[in-house]
Amino acid sequence: MVLLDMAAKLSRDIGVITLDTGRLPEETFTMIDTVRRRYGIAIETVTPDPAEVASMVARHGPNLFHDSVPQRMLCCQIRKVRPLERRLASFDAWVTGLRRGQNGSRADILRIDETARPVKINPLADWSDEEVDKYIRENDVPLHPLYSRGYGSIGCAPCTRPGSGRDGRWWWEADADKECGIHFSANGKAERSVDVLLRDIVAPSSLRQKPATDETVSDRQPGINEIQARTVDTPVFPPFSPRTVATHQGFTLWFTGLSGAGKSTISAIIERSLREGGARVEVLDGDVVRTHLSKGLGFSKEDRDTNVRRIGFVAELLSRHGAVAIVAAISPYRAVRDEVRSRIPNFVEVYVECPIEVLAERDVKGLYKRALAGEIPSFTGVSDPYEPPLAPDVVVNSSRETPEQSAAQIWATLEHKGLVTFPLRLAAD
Of 63, 18, 19, 74, residue with least CA distance to 42: 18
Give the CA angle between residues 71, 73, 74 to the nearest 5°.
60
What is the C-alpha separation between 290 and 309, in angstroms, rounded?
12
Q: Is 235 helix (H, G, I), strand (E, B) or coil?
A: strand
SS3 state at 209 = strand
For residue 241, indicate whether it is catalytic: no
Rounded to 10°, the helix 188-201/50-60 angle is: 110
Q: Decide: 413 and 348 in contact? Cβ < 8 Å.
A: yes
- The answer to whether 154 and 20 have CB atoms below 8 angstroms apart is no
Transcribe 47-104 into DSSP letters: ---HHHHHHHHHHH-TTGGGT-HHHHHHHHIIIIIHHHHHHHTT-SEEE----GGG-G
User: Catalytic pick from 331, 342, 398, 406?
Assistant: 331
How far is the C-alpha of 246 from the C-alpha of 286, rounded, in Å?
26
CA dihedral 169, 170, 172, 176 (to 10 degrees): -100
Return d(Cα 49, Cα 193) in angstroms, integer.
21
Assign 395 to helix, strand or coil: strand
- For residues 284 and 326, is the Cβ–Cβ distance under 8 A? yes
CB-CB neighbours of 236 under 10 Å: 20
Please provide the size of the chain in residues: 429
Q: Are the C-beta atoms of residues 342 and 36 closer than 8 Å to each other?
A: yes
- Sign for the CA dihedral angle at 214, 220, 226, 229 comes to negative
CB 337 within 8 Å of CB 351: no
d(CA 166, CA 32): 21
CA 192 to chain centre: 30
- Three-state secondary structure call for residue 163: strand
Q: Which residues are catalytic?
A: 331
